[in-house]
């Protein structure tokens, strides 16, 4: 009996031991596969990436997310293509690292293309991995961040790859306005591949190592005979200043990652959420400096960014599209800890006039803020729309209408402060009371009229001026008369188009209180499929 028990125990222990050995082997296989996946396209290609001053996909994810927060999805995915000897060339993960983690404790979904695997090119399975995290991001209401570094469609896969791109494009559109989508371009991005980033909310490009174009320099040379480098055609500074395709630029990969985190800090997780608020205790909110910012001569410029700095929380302004259409300034800031979006005419550039590019830039920003419940502050000093054939032939009518439309449809809390000029159609467009602004303030020197006193006098008093013995003196007299009547905020205040004329030094305090008062604003819009923005 004792022998039988001992034998049974021996067999049981042996079984356990075998199971352990068996599991050890299985774990070894798993570990070796995960280690292989981590190597991407191999050490040599990773070294080559570093030599170009770029981080690898995994390093980028590591620095972007909170320590130990990243959970990878699909590390063992492989492509399914067999043409051109592809069956023998398998890299675990297939050129894109996907998963989720946190940034400052907030959930995000991320994909990072791995240039060390077939140049980060997009295969059918690579696209499926991206689509998987996009679907999760939408279902769970958290931002999607794409770190792009890719040679485009996986050439060996043909139409399978193109289909993969289209699957991503479709999801970009379905996710638009539901969750924030942010694209960092950290390497090449060419061909139709540029259209996924273009449909996301923000693009950030790394200077010197990234470019975006639909057709590269060689095709350009063949078709148009133009000689242009990749950098000139679609580098970060080109898209930041000339085309406006990129909203932000970064000096290197780490700067890009830092700016991505900063951008996210102003933005809510999804369209039903509110942006994070920083703790703030109200104190003396007067800013005396603001009383002396506007020059005596109304034709002299001043820097609207000094006004922004005087109104918002210290060091909180995060400018978007800084080098593009500089006659309008847009960006995020905090007011007593609350996230706001700012749209401000810039008198330092083209006198702050509205033109094609500034209208498009501001309209896009207003629509983003409205999608994601970020209240809007407008600082207005605008002499009108820019005249000229260039503007008319480039559709200032349609493009100006974009801004008018964007403000008119926005339901977030909206406040305007007229710091100086509010002339002509631009008065209406720049978040006037008439198109749904909630609170409209003006500084005492504000001029709210159809046009400037000189232009107005030349038109309406033309006959009188022409008939005068001294036409110049007559014009000056009429100009004064017109300015006394209209170049002030009181006509508009008398009609209720301006809610209050305020001291500049009191602007911050007024805005903090007004935005708090508007915190629970709710607007019902008529039921419809969607409006028809003048695209």
Phi and psi dihedrals of 111, rounded to 5?
-130, 140
Q: How many CA atoms lie within 13 A of 392 on its CB side?
A: 3
Q: How far is CA 134 from CA 198, 257, 370, 448, 503, in A?
A: 16, 20, 22, 47, 48
**462 neighbors 522 (Cβ within 8 angstroms):** no
Query: Known catalytic residue: 85?
Result: no
One residue of 119, 197, 331, 424 binding ligand HXC per CB under 6 A = 119
Options 104-112, 171-179, 189-197, 320-328: segment touching ligand HXC (CB under 6 A): 189-197
Query: Known catalytic residue: 426?
Result: yes
**40 neighbors 58 (Cβ within 8 angstroms):** yes
Options 24-32, 53-61, 116-124, 334-342: segment touching ligand HXC (CB under 6 A): 116-124
Note whether 162 binds ligand HXC by CB under 6 A. Answer: yes
One residue of 138, 179, 190, 320 binding ligand HXC per CB under 6 A = 190
Question: What H or E segment, with its residue span, contains residue 367?
Answer: helix 356-371
**Pairing, β 188-190 against β 211-213:** parallel
Options 4-12, 71-79, 148-156, 361-369: segment touching ligand HXC (CB under 6 A): 148-156
Active-site residue, from 216, 244, 337, 425: 425
DSSP 66: P
Give least dist CB 259 to ligand HXC, A.
24
One residue of 100, 109, 111, 118 binding ligand HXC per CB under 6 A = 118
Give least dist CB 155 to ligand HXC, A.
4
Give least dist CB 209 to ligand HXC, A.
10
Active-site residue, from 95, 146, 152, 191: 191
Residue whose structure tokens are 């293309």: 113
Distance of alpha carbon 390 from alpha carbon 186, whole angstroms? 34
Options 186-194, 308-316, 317-325, 343-351: segment touching ligand HXC (CB under 6 A): 186-194
Residue whose structure tokens are 């001043």: 302
Query: Known catalytic residue: 15?
Result: no
Distance of alpha carbon 73 from alpha carbon 355, whole angstroms? 46
Phi-psi region of 533 (alpha: psi -120 to 50; beta: other; left: phi over 0): beta
Which tokens sit at 103? 């940034």
CA 462 vs. chain centroid, Å, equals 48
Options 14-22, 151-159, 200-208, 275-283: segment touching ligand HXC (CB under 6 A): 151-159
Options 115-123, 385-393, 464-472, 501-509: segment touching ligand HXC (CB under 6 A): 115-123
x-or-dash string of contact with ligand HXC, 192-211, rule CB under 6 A: xx------------------
Query: Known catalytic residue: 476?
Result: no
Options 138-146, 188-196, 274-282, 354-362: segment touching ligand HXC (CB under 6 A): 188-196
Q: Could you tell me how many residues make up the chain?
A: 535
Active-site residue, from 57, 193, 325, 426: 426
Nearest CB to ligand HXC, comparing residues 212 and 263: 212
**525 neighbors 411 (Cβ within 8 angstroms):** yes
Nearest alpha-carbon partner for 233 in 182, 185, 190:
190
Note whether 191 binds ligand HXC by CB under 6 A. Answer: yes
x-or-dash string of contact with ligand HXC, 348-387, rule CB under 6 A: ----------------------------------------
Nearest CB to ligand HXC, comparing residues 151 and 234: 151
Give least dist CB 435 to ligand HXC, A.
38
Q: What is the DSSP string of 394-462?
A: TTHHHHHHHHHHHHHH--S-EEEEEEEEEEHHHHHHTT-GGGT-SEEEE-TT-EEESS-HHHHHHHHTH
Q: How far is CA 216 from CA 57, 191, 485, in A?
A: 24, 8, 57
Nearest alpha-carbon partner for 146 in 120, 123, 125:
120
One residue of 8, 20, 23, 155 binding ligand HXC per CB under 6 A = 155
x-or-dash string of contact with ligand HXC, 244-283, rule CB under 6 A: ----------------------------------------
Give least dist CB 196 to ligand HXC, A.
8
One residue of 40, 99, 143, 152 binding ligand HXC per CB under 6 A = 152
DSSP 386: P
One residue of 91, 109, 111, 165 binding ligand HXC per CB under 6 A = 165
In the window 459-498, what residues touch ligand HXC (CB under 6 A)? none
x-or-dash string of contact with ligand HXC, 23-52, rule CB under 6 A: ----------------------x-------
Give least dist CB 189 to ligand HXC, A.
9
One residue of 74, 93, 146, 151 binding ligand HXC per CB under 6 A = 151
- Applying CB under 6 A, what is the total number of residues that bind ligand HXC? 16
CA 226 vs. chain centroid, Å, equals 31
Note whether 217 binds ligand HXC by CB under 6 A. Answer: no
Give least dist CB 312 to ligand HXC, A.
41
Note whether 213 binds ligand HXC by CB under 6 A. Answer: no
Active-site residue, from 53, 163, 192, 388: 192
One residue of 188, 235, 268, 276 binding ligand HXC per CB under 6 A = 188
Q: How far is CA 475 from CA 6, 285, 367, 383, 456, in A?
A: 119, 44, 43, 20, 10
DSSP 247: S
Residue 7's Cβ-count burial label (10 Å; 0-12, 13-18, 19+) is exposed
**49 neighbors 56 (Cβ within 8 angstroms):** yes
Residues that bind ligand HXC (CB under 6 A): 45, 118-119, 121, 151-155, 162, 165, 188, 190-193
Active site residues: 191-192, 425-426
């Amino acid at each position: 009996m004792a022998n039988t028990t001992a034998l049974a125990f021996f067999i049981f222990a042996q079984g356990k031991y075998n199971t352990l050995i068996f599991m050890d082997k299985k774990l070894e296989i798993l570990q070796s596969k995960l280690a292989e996946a981590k190597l991407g396209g191999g050490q040599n290609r990773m070294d080559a990436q570093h030599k170009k001053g770029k981080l690898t996909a995994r390093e980028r994810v590591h620095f972007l997310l909170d320590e130990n927060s990243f959970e990878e999805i699909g590390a063992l995915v492989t492509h399914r293509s067999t043409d051109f000897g592809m069956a023998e060339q398998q890299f675990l993960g297939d050129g894109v690292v996907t998963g989720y983690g946190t940034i400052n404790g907030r959930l995000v979904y991320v994909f990072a293309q791995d240039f060390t695997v077939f140049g980060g090119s997009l295969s059918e399975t690579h696209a499926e991995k991206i689509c998987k995290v996009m679907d999760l991001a939408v279902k769970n209401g958290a931002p999607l961040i794409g770190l792009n570094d890719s040679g485009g469609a996986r050439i060996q896969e043909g139409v399978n790859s193109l289909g993969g791109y289209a699957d991503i494009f479709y999801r970009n559109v379905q996710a638009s306005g539901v969750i924030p989508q942010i694209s960092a371009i950290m390497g090449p991005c060419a061909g139709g591949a540029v259209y996924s980033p273009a449909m996301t909310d923000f693009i950030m490009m790394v200077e010197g190592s990234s470019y975006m174009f639909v057709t590269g320099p060689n095709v350009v040379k063949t078709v148009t005979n133009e000689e242009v480098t990749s950098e000139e055609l679609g580098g970060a500074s080109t898209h930041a200043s000339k085309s406006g395709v990129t909203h932000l630029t970064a000096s290197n990969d780490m700067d890009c990652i830092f700016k991505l985190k900063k951008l996210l800090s102003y933005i809510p997780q999804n369209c039903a959420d509110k942006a994070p608020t920083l703790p703030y205790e109200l104190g003396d909110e007067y800013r005396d400096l603001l009383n002396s910012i506007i020059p005596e001569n109304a034709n002299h410029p001043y820097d609207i960014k000094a006004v922004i700095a005087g109104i918002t929380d210290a060091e909180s302004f995060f400018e978007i599209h800084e080098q593009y259409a500089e006659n309008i300034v847009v960006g995020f800031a905090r007011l007593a800890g609350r996230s706001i979006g700012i749209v401000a005419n810039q008198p330092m550039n083209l006198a702050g006039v509205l033109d094609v590019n500034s209208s498009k830039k501001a309209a896009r920003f207003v629509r983003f803020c409205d999608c994601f419940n970020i209240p809007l502050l407008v600082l207005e000093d605008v002499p009108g729309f820019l005249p000229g054939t260039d503007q008319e032939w480039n559709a200032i009518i349609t493009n100006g209408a974009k801004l008018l439309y964007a403000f008119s449809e926005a339901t977030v809390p909206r406040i305007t402060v007229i710091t100086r000029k509010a002339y002509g159609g631009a008065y209406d467009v720049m978040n006037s009371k008439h198109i749904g602004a909630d609170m409209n303030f003006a500084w005492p020197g504000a001029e709210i009229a159809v046009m400037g006193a000189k232009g107005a006098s030349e038109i309406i008093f033309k006959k009188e001026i022409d008939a005068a013995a001294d036409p110049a003196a007559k014009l000056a007299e009429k100009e004064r008369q017109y300015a006394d009547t209209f170049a002030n905020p009181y006509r508009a205040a008398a009609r209720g188009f301006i809610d209050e004329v305020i001291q500049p030094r009191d602007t911050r305090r007024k805005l903090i209180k007004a935005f708090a008062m508007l915190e629970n604003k709710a607007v019902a819009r008529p039921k419809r499929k969607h409006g028809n923005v003048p695209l």
